[in-house]
Each structure stands twice: as C-alpha cells, then as structure tokens.
Amino acid sequence: MRQHVNPLSRVHQRPLPLPPPAELFGEPARPIHLDIGSARGGFLLELAQQEPGRNYLGVEIRQPLVQAAEADRQALGLGNLHYLYCNANVNLQQWLGALPPGQLERVSIQFPDPWFKKKHHKRRVLQPALLLAIAGALAEQQELFIQSDVLDVIEPMVLLIEASGYFQRPPQDGRPWRLDNPLAVATERERLVLQQGLPVYRVLYERNRQPLGAWPELPLEQRPKATDNPPERPELCP
C-alpha cells in the first residue's frame, strides 16, 4: 500500500540544507549512488552490503521511514550508507551542485508515487529542475536508472529525460523497455510486483557529452520530441 505525502504542502517546502559526503560516510571520497525515494530503505541496506566499494545515499520525503531505515543502518554499522529526510525537488539540487565532479556515479528513481490526476502531476518526483541538477552532477557515461510498474508514470519520465537532451540509452538495451534490472538488488516494490506476475517497466540512461545549458523557453515536459519509446504499449515479460 502506497502512503502518499503531498510534496507541495508547506511543511515539505521548507529549505533544508543537506550534509555533505564528509558528514555522511566513513570514506567520503568514494563514488556515490543516490536513490531518490528510498522508502523503508531495504534496497540500499542490502546493496550497500553486497557492493561495499561505493557510498549510498537514500532520500525520502516520509520522515518515519527515514528514521526506521537509519536505525537499521546504524544497527549494522554501515559507514557507506546514509538515509536523509528531504523533499528532493526542494533540497536536493543544492547538494548535487556541491558534489565534486564525477563523484555521483548513479542515480535511481524506482516506483515513485504515481499521482494519477492531471492536476497532481506537479507533485511527481522527477520535475525539470531536479532533472537538470542530476544531469549537472553526472559525468559522461554515468547512469540514471528509472523503473515503475505504472506506464502512466514512467512514460512521462522517459519523455522528460529524452527531451532534455542530456541522456542516451545504451545501444544494447531493449526497446521500449529494458527487460532486466541492472542493479544487483531489487526493491521491495519490484519483488512484490514480479511475484504477482505483473510487468515492470525499466529504462537505463547514460549521461552524454551535451554540456549543461540554459533553460528552454518551455518546461521540458512540454517540448515535443520523439523518444526511443514508440507510442504502442506492448505487453512486457519481466
């Protein structure tokens, strides 16, 4: 059951400076995997133990989930993992801009809240300003991975990312959707969806060489541009 939080409410619009890597990790110079919308944190908790060579940061807007995830992390004494409470579209952009060039190795956005009504689309996690901040922090060939079990959620994300001009898909990946998860660990939501025999829609992007430019005249999501994904919605076998 998804527990929705309105990111546009006053309490979640307050500026909240996020601590730098030196205050989060035991070895702060390691590459960073940022998971936006980390929920209860089980995905990163497992991944940080399986692949200890990088640092992991999970950000989540539901503060009780962050507190529970941090308790699990501390119980295991993991110095390469941290969870932070924040609204990604309010607090994350400054943190991304302050990272040393090339340190952000991967960003994942997995099964974000759908916000189906059109008037609520502005509450969705991947907004143009956040995407530009991600593009600015990722070096060439570093990764942005998205997945969802809801086509009406992931298709606008694909359109936005590809309209930005800052990302490309690995040529060997399947179209319209990547069939396998490039990460070593599945999220709780992914496991539940697959257990029910339902499809998961995945796309892996790599940062290209396009230098970060000025804002377009229109919001990115309104720019008409063809994407790698055709308009048809074929059935997917996960």
**Total domains present in the chain:** 1
Domain containing 148 equals 10-222
Report pLDDT for 125: 67
Residue 60 has what pLDDT? 93
Question: Looking at residue 114, what is its pLDDT?
Answer: 55
188 membership: H or E segment, kind and range: helix 188-195
Dihedrals phi, psi of 233, to nearest 5 degrees: -120, 80
* CATH number of the domain bearing residue 162: 3.40.50.150
Q: Does residue 24 lie within any of the structural domains? A: yes
pLDDT at site 1: 43
pLDDT tens, the chain, 238 aa long:
445 665 444 554 566 789 999 999 999 999 999 999 999 999 999 999 999 999 999 999 889 999 999 999 999 999 999 999 998 988 999 999 999 999 999 999 999 865 443 433 444 668 888 999 999 999 999 999 999 999 989 999 999 999 999 999 999 999 999 999 999 999 999 999 999 999 999 999 999 999 998 555 555 555 544 455 544 444 343 4
pLDDT at 3: 56
Q: Does 85 fall in a domain?
A: yes
**Measured in whole angstroms, how far is the alpha carbon of residue 193 from the centre of its chain?**
19
- Give SS3 for 203: strand
Helix (H, G, I), strand (E, B) or coil at 72: helix
**Inter-residue long-range contacts of 179-184, CB under 8 Å, 24+ positions, other chains counted:** 179/236, 179/237, 179/238, 181/147, 182/143, 182/145, 183/47, 183/108, 183/145, 184/47, 184/50, 184/51
- Residue 228: the pLDDT is 53
- Helix or strand (DSSP H, E) at 57: strand 55-60
Residue 73 is assigned to a structural domain of this protein: yes
Report if residue 64 sits inside a domain. yes
pLDDT at 213: 82
pLDDT of residue 201: 97
- Spell out the residues 6+ positions from residue 26 whose beta carbon is closer than 8 angstroms to its own: 79, 80
- Of the candidates 110, 170, 160, the residue with the CA atom closest to the CA atom of residue 135: 160
Active site positions, annotated: 113
Q: Buried b vs exposed e over 197-227: b needs ≥16 C-beta within 10 Å?
A: eebbbbbbbebeeeeeeeeeeeebbebeeeb
**Residue recorded with tokens 């809240």:** 113
Q: Is residue 110 part of a domain?
A: yes
**pLDDT at position 222:** 55
The verdict on residue 230 lying in a domain is no
Residue 173, domain member (yes or no): yes
Residue 38 within a domain: yes
DSSP state of 178: B
The pLDDT, as a whole number, for residue 233 is 43
